[in-house]
Amino acid sequence: MDYSRYDGHRFDDEKRDPNTLQVAQCPTDSSALTNCVYIAPGLIDPKVHYLTVNGQYVFTVRADRGIQNGQIGVNGTARRWAQFSLGQSVRIDPYDIHSEGTDVNLGCLKMEIDFFQRSNRLADEFKEDDLAKAFSINFNHQILAKGQLIVFEYCGVKFRVTVNDLDVVDLKALSKGEVDAHQERKHEAIRGILMRETNIEFTKTEGSFLNLKQSKKRAMAAKALIKPDFQFEDLGIGGLDDEFNAIFRRAFASRIFPPALVEKLGVQHVKGILLYGPPGTGKTLMARQIGKMLNAKEPKIVSGPEVLSKFVGQSEENVRKLFADAEEEYRSKGEESGLHIIIFDELDAICKSRGSRSGDTGVGDSVVNQLLAKMDGVEQLNNILIIGMTNRKDMIDEALLRPGRLEVHMEIGLPDEKGRLQILKIHTGMMRTNNVLESDVNLDELAELTKNYSGAEISGVVKAASSYAFNRHIKVGTMAGIAADVENMKVSMDDFMNALKEVQPAFGVSEAELQQCVQNHIIPFSPSVEQILTDGRLYVDQVRQSSRTPLVSVLLNGPAGSGKTALAATIGMESQFPFIKLISPETMVGMSETAKVTEINKIFNDSYKSPLSVIVIDAIERLLDYVPIGPRFSNSVLQALMVLLKKKPPKNRRLLILATTTQRQILEQMDMTDEFSAEIYVPTITSLEGVDAVLQQLELFSNAERERALSILRQANMDKKLTIGVKKLLMIIEMARQDQDKIEKFVNAILAL
């Protein structure tokens, strides 16, 4: 249709295309703020309200006598968006948005806003609701498109607005107020008509100095921090349900609630979490998996040693780079900034206590200072979450552990039976899915058998069991090959039992050492032995059940060779506690005093990681390096033991200490006996009835030979003067067993005592 001659108007140049106009400036400054284009009156039908320019850009059109024939007035912001230049020839055509056959009314309009002059730093606060209302009035019924640039004046201040996103909806629903800004979109489009009912949302342009106060409706909208399709099973973390729930409560719960509500409480979000505990318990796995459940930036994962550099200042620069993205976004978006997660593995490598490093360059201290400044310095960031992981919490600088920094301390300990079952199910999941797990495999039984196994060690058990299954299907000949029945390969319970023997827990029972202590078993040569074992079981039950005595220490004293160590080891092993360790002088031969203290302290610290523990301290006087000539003893070891004997384990941890000594009077002089909760005297054999009981147990003689040997000893009046340790008696019996005349050898050895 040719509109060039409408209402008698004619172009002077009949040869020029009437629909081709040259781009010019808007006729007035006020018209430049309307977001409309201007043409000369009479050029088009007054019923036409919208034009397409060059077939792509749609504008609201107005007639103005200040525009010359053959020109179209476009303001500078619109020219920048459409990439027009002054004097450029453009083609115009009338535009009917309803001809597209879809809903064209804007339900939601999301825009970025900034000062027109970006260097403007007005301190005035601009409310989003007021800006949205003014924008709706100024540009009502205009067609707006994605990416469009608009100049907008409010209260004498000019703003530049960019359309980021828009939704179009049914006009009837819009007029009834049934459309919410956060409702699911009905239609997506590239343009639509702005209505009075359109929900308008403004966000600051990145790097803007605009002080924008968010609308109440948006401020009270909860952040979708957790992914909507997330399931906790997807984490693949077994045995850490309680720990994960605690981390979620402390670190993420406040971030789910609306910022305005959190602001009312006057609290800041938790910025740091420290995960600590034994190696292999899932600290790194948990930290890495947290990122999967959050609508947050991709976590930055860095190992502690990677931060350090030999170049001056480079280590500190590496720390600053980790926080750079969070700082930049927080400056531009404030509380609307996304959550930035930084994960430090092996944190103790860079954050040792300041001043503890002797003879170094001080780089470590500088890194700690830089990290402290970034986490809780002058310019505080509220959009970061630091997750640190370490096996040695005691080495971390104390300033990092206070509230406002790494304030949530979560111990990731060894899993309990329920947790071990979860871990086994995770690691055997593919086996069960693919039907390569034998029906005799009982995961509940395996969970019970893997006391004090960490998650990594349970994974090792599953791998070892698989290797046994592989081994059954390998042909052994001149060259190793795969057997023909490999398709029928399945992992059986026997494979798991063999794997348990091969993969031993780092924190568990010193079974081999304890078995050596009782290799001859306990021989009840008198009622006192049974009484000692009974009392020992009572102390075990007390530690297991009593909430008032989480620490019980018992001193077994008696003459040398009376069986103190064997009794202590037996009580410990019968307890079935998951952690049983032996501290023995034999394991510390050649150690310096400092090394001994360190080793003893380590065993006690390891015991605190298990819910129920037993520590057997054998021959305390020898651990103290005591000798009667001099006399001499190690005061540093003594002081360490006295402290540890009284040190109560952490909450929900229980410890039984069983110590042995042959020099009680020496320990009394050192004021050490008072440190024990109870004492048990272990007697020697002082009657021939006791000797008889041992002989019957070891079956050295026949009944007749035994009676004859005891008769000879009675005639020698040994019943009144006999005093012999059970260990010495065992040695004599085994020596006599090697002689041809066993009776004579045995009797003579006893008479020689």
Structure-token pair, residue 263: 């602001």
* Angle at alpha carbon of residue 292, lines to 291 and 296, rounded to 5°: 50
List, in sequence order, every beta strand (DSSP E) within 573-647. 579-583, 612-617
Give backbone dihedrals phi and psi of 336, rounded to 5 degrees, phi first. Answer: -85, 0
The pLDDT value recorded for residue 538 is 95
Give the whole-angstrom CA distance, residue 383 versus residue 365: 25
Nearest to 560 by CA among 337, 752, 727: 727
8-state DSSP, 280: T
Nearest to 461 by CA among 522, 420, 402: 420
- Single-letter amino acid code for the residue at 484: A
Which residues share a beta bridge with 300? Answer: 342
354 exposed, middle or buried (CB, 10 Å; 0-12, 13-18, 19+)? middle
Pick the CATH number of 417-502 from 3.10.20.30, 1.10.8.60, 3.40.640.10, 2.40.30.10: 1.10.8.60
Structure-token pair, residue 575: 């307890």
Coil/strand/helix, residue 62: strand
Give the whole-angstrom CA distance, residue 644 versus residue 598: 12
* Angle at alpha carbon of residue 195, lines to 189 and 200, rounded to 5°: 75
8-state DSSP, 535: H
| Share in percent of the chain as helix, strand, coil (round to 5) | 40, 20, 40
Structure-token pair, residue 342: 């930084």
Neighbouring CB atoms inside 10 A of 377's CB total: 12
If you count them, how many residues does the chain have?
Answer: 753
Per DSSP, the chain holds a count of helices (H) and strands (E) of 28, 27
511-527+542-681 — its CATH code? Answer: 3.40.50.300
Which residues share a beta bridge with 396? Answer: 352
The pLDDT value recorded for residue 5 is 42
Q: Do domains 232-355+363-411 and 511-527+542-681 have the same CATH topology?
A: yes
CA 521 to the chain's CA centroid:
46
Please measure the distance between the N-terminal and C-terminal CA atoms of the chain and give it in whole angstroms.
133
Q: Could you give the angle at which helices 726-737 and 742-751 cross, rounded to 10 degrees?
A: 150
Neighbouring CB atoms inside 10 A of 317's CB total: 12
HEC per residue, 115-166: ECCCCCCCCCEEEHHHHHHHHHHHCCCCEEECCCEEEEEECCEEEEEEEEEE
pLDDT < 70: residue spans in the chain:
1-16, 99-103, 170-189, 216-241, 256-263, 291-296, 304, 308-312, 332-336, 354-364, 377-380, 475-486, 508-509, 512
**For 426, what's the count of Cα atoms within 13 Å in the CB-facing half-sphere?**
19
Residue 248 zone, left/alpha/beta (φ > 0; ψ -120 to 50; rest): alpha
pTM above 0.75, yes or no: no
Say if CB 688 and CB 713 are below 8 A apart: yes
Structure-token pair, residue 444: 């509940």
The pLDDT value recorded for residue 13 is 47
HEC per residue, 168-190: EECHHHHHCCCCCCCCCCCEECC
Say if CB 444 and CB 570 are below 8 A apart: no
The pLDDT value recorded for residue 736 is 86
- What are the residue boundaries of the structural domains of the chain, listed by start? 20-94, 106-134+145-172+186-222, 232-355+363-411, 417-502, 511-527+542-681, 688-752
Fold of 106-134+145-172+186-222: Vcp-like ATPase; Chain A, domain 2 (3.10.330)
CA 541 vs CA 548, 549, 576: distances in Å: 13, 11, 11
CA 486 to the chain's CA centroid:
40
HEC per residue, 189-245: CCEEECCCCCEEEEEECCCCCCEEECCHHHHCCCCCCECCCCCHHHHCCCCCHHHHH
Nearest to 192 by CA among 140, 154, 243: 140
* Angle at alpha carbon of residue 354, lines to 353 and 356, rounded to 5°: 70
Q: Could you give the angle at which helices 363-376 and 314-333 cross, rounded to 10 degrees?
A: 10
**Cis peptide upstream of residue 305 (ω within 30 degrees of 0):** no
Q: Which CATH architecture has domain 20-94?
A: Beta Barrel (2.40)
Looking up tokens 């037996």 gives: 570
Give the whole-angstrom CA distance, residue 244 versus residue 729: 57
The pLDDT value recorded for residue 101 is 54
Q: What is the β-pairing status of strands 105-115 and 157-169?
A: antiparallel
Structure-token pair, residue 5: 């001659």
Say if CB 28 and CB 11 are below 8 A apart: no
Structure-token pair, residue 13: 């140049």
Domain 232-355+363-411 superfamily per CATH: P-loop containing nucleotide triphosphate hydrolases (3.40.50.300)
Which residues share a beta bridge with 192? Answer: 144
Which residues share a beta bridge with 151? Answer: 160
